[in-house]
Structure 1
Amino acid sequence: MAYVFPTPIDPLAAYGPLIAARTADADDEKPGYERLVAEPMTPTIGAEVGGVRLSGDLDGATMDELRRALLEFKVLVFRDQDIGRDEQRAFASRWGELERHPFFVYTQPGQTDVDVVTLAKDAAAPGMENNWHHDITWHATPSFGAVLRAVEVPPVGGDTLWADMYAAYDLLPEDLRERVDPLYAEHDWIDSFGRAMPPEAVEALRPTFPAVRHPVVRVHPETGRRALFVNMLFTTRILDVPDEESAELLRMLYRHVQRPEFQCRLRWRPGTVAFWDNRSCQHYASSDYHPARRVMDRISIAGDRPVGVAG
């Protein structure tokens, strides 16, 4: 039986307060931070973190607080960090195995170091990451997170935005949450990275990276919270529903996650580093600075297989 969409079918037609919890235990008293200062960027997502030098030897207690802050705020921003690739790599490696991206050697000119991806955009190579997405959901085990360091920034523009997928899920209409909870979707790279690659490279990589199946609603492995886990860059369709319903559900979810109430926005400065939890938020790189130059070094951390509501 086809799903009967609620009225109004477009969540953007609803107006008024959109209040979500930053954490699952929002009503409980949580301990503060002793090793760092976390200044929230918005009510649910993003914090500027002070008192931490990423170039230093971070002790276990500081790392524990950083993990708690990451789970609470989803995006951590560190200003005025005088670090290079080696220190960036050392910090990222504290969180897990570093991820080697198989496609950037084909899509980024001159890219050879595939665990530190240099995203260099200028008049000859305009920014193309201005689409909401989780990183590498076309992989069976999408990224845990990423550490992004500003190397060169334009005079204005080139901001990065993140959207809180816990808040997006929590503020769906109840009947829509119940509808998407058990569903799975297909994720693929052919229509994104594949378009920028030579045909022989696509053919060679396709057997290693087939389309994959992930839950529409992911249960976070550390917090236990439910988060929307579809994105317009890599999700191709919702499985086991009619094509029309798949298209309408995805259209509705994509528009819903674009609401500013779920987002934070970072204006970069040289020496700024951002670290985010790819499991609980999407991101978007604003491409409004062409032909100015914007250079970022990104290191991704390997993740695990997403688990849905039913396990």
Structure 2
Amino acid sequence: MSDILLAGREPASAPAASLDLRPLTGHIGAEIHGLDLSRPLPPSTVAAVQAALWQWKVVFFRKQPLTHAQHVAFAGQFGRPTLGHPVYGYVDGHPQVYSVARNRFSSRHTGDQLLRPWTGWHTDVTAAVNPPAASILRGVVIPPYGGDTQWTNLEAAYEALSPTLRDFVDALRGIHQFVPPEGQGATEEFLRKNRARPLVSEHPLVRVHPATGRRSLYVSPLFLQRITGLSPRESRQLLDLLFEHVVLPEFTVRFRWEKDSIAFWDNNATAHLAPRDIYRLDFDRQLYRVTLKGEVPVGVDGRPSTAIEGEPLDAYE
């Protein structure tokens, strides 16, 4: 058991609840046991879960058989749910819920992908000027093996850089947008959906967390295309270095899904990797995601991100 208080904040009138919190690695990831997420949580428990999230970046729950409505209600205790996905839509009848199915990428891209150690790693929807603050993913149909998801701690990755490199990247900004993976072309469906809701934004490479004030290396390999103000080669070399750095195993946690498991992560300070091994297996895999409205990122210099194309993500109410 571990008593957690809101990081950097005074407790409310009642102290934060005690959680059965079980950390999984030295940098990231903890399981929380003993809660029923199908019912509203007491304010002190909400505060404790939020604090655990800020400390461990991603928290996991087991044996939580939620409906779509209960999933949205649980998320709403920590913020304002957004539309399921700003480009790819939502589950019919549940506009805050996005389907994460095994075959969801089958019609988006064509051709052979160039695979690198960081391929597929991303922070959710950083093409938007205000990416989601958090994501909550629920497992419904889980294969008997395979299909693990990984997360990395971008705050720990930033701290592990040399002081000289930290000073350099503190001042840089980069362009984020939806594009096909390297080596692949876009299908007409992908082009049509991105034309309908184009999202391109410039974010700082180092973000100051809106709640804790901690700095993170705000690089999302799937979406971050180039660094502003650098030549193409300089940008590519530096991005490759940073992408390789943030996915080092010591910053990561790997989660073995079970039916009715839930992963809740701080999208301000993490990147994650969806599994590729499921495409070699014949098992179905179906998860559902709810995201919470986020703030516009702010860099070390106090400058906010800027939208190049597209509107901010709003809560769906």
Query: Do the two structures share a fold, i.e. TM-score over 0.5?
Result: yes
Deviation at 1:289, TM superposition (A): 2.1
Partner residue in 1 for 2:97: 116
- In structure 2, relative to structure 1, the CA distance for the partners of 1:157 and 1:86 (3 Å cut) is same
Q: Which amino acid aligns with 1:157?
A: G
Deviates more, 1:223-232 or 1:284-293: 284-293
- Give the alignment partner of residue 41 of structure 2, picking from 34, 47, 58: 58
Does the Cα contact within 8 Å between 1:75 and 1:277 map onto a contact in 2? yes
Does the Cα contact within 8 Å between 2:134 and 2:292 map onto a contact in 1? yes
- Give the alignment partner of residue 194 of structure 2, picking from 183, 190, 202: 202
- In structure 2, relative to structure 1, the CA distance for the partners of 1:144 and 1:284 (3 Å cut) is same
Q: Which amino acid aligns with 1:120?
A: A
- Give the alignment partner of residue 285 of structure 2, picking from 267, 274, 294: 294
Residue 170 of structure 1 pairs with residue 162 of structure 2? no
- In structure 2, what is the Cα distance between the partners aligned to 1:190 and 1:303? 22
Partner residue in 1 for 2:57: 74
Does the Cα contact within 8 Å between 1:123 and 1:292 map onto a contact in 2? no
Deviation at 1:191, TM superposition (A): 3.3
- In structure 2, relative to structure 1, the CA distance for the partners of 1:123 and 1:198 (3 Å cut) is closer
Secondary structure of residue in 2 paired with 1:141: coil
Deviates more, 1:218-227 or 1:194-203: 194-203
Across the aligned residues of Structure 1 and Structure 2, the Cα RMSD in angstroms comes to 2.8
Q: State the TM-score, normalizing by the size of structure 2.
A: 0.81
In the comparison of the two structures, how many residue pairs are matched? 277
- In structure 2, relative to structure 1, the CA distance for the partners of 1:287 and 1:52 (3 Å cut) is same
- In structure 1, what is the Cα distance between the partners aligned to 2:194 and 2:105? 24
Where in structure 1 are there 5+ consecutive unaligned residues?
A: 1-22, 26-31
Q: Which amino acid aligns with 1:202?
A: N
Question: Equivalent pairs: percent with the same residue?
Answer: 37
- In structure 2, relative to structure 1, the CA distance for the partners of 1:309 and 1:65 (3 Å cut) is same
Partner residue in 2 for 1:7: none
- In structure 2, relative to structure 1, the CA distance for the partners of 1:202 and 1:146 (3 Å cut) is closer
- In structure 2, what is the Cα distance between the partners aligned to 1:231 and 1:97? 23
Residue 104 of structure 1 pairs with residue 85 of structure 2? no
- In structure 2, relative to structure 1, the CA distance for the partners of 1:223 and 1:96 (3 Å cut) is same
Partner residue in 1 for 2:25: 42
Deviation at 1:113, TM superposition (A): 4.1
Does the Cα contact within 8 Å between 1:104 and 1:114 map onto a contact in 2? no
Deviation sequence 1:52-73 (CA, Å, 0-9, x none): 1111220111111111111111
Secondary structure of residue in 1 paired with 2:126: coil
- In structure 1, what is the Cα distance between the partners aligned to 2:104 and 2:298? 41
Where in structure 2 are there 5+ consecutive unaligned residues?
A: 1-5, 9-14, 110-117, 303-317
- Give the alignment partner of residue 160 of structure 1, picking from 118, 136, 149: 149
Does the Cα contact within 8 Å between 2:79 and 2:292 map onto a contact in 1? yes
Partner residue in 1 for 2:11: none
Partner residue in 2 for 1:308: 299
Deviation at 1:125, TM superposition (A): 4.7
Q: Which amino acid aligns with 1:84?
A: T
- In structure 2, what is the Cα distance between the partners aligned to 1:139 and 1:309? 20
- In structure 2, relative to structure 1, the CA distance for the partners of 1:225 and 1:285 (3 Å cut) is same
Q: State the TM-score, normalizing by the size of structure 1.
A: 0.82
- In structure 2, what is the Cα distance between the partners aligned to 1:40 and 1:292? 30
Partner residue in 2 for 1:237: 226
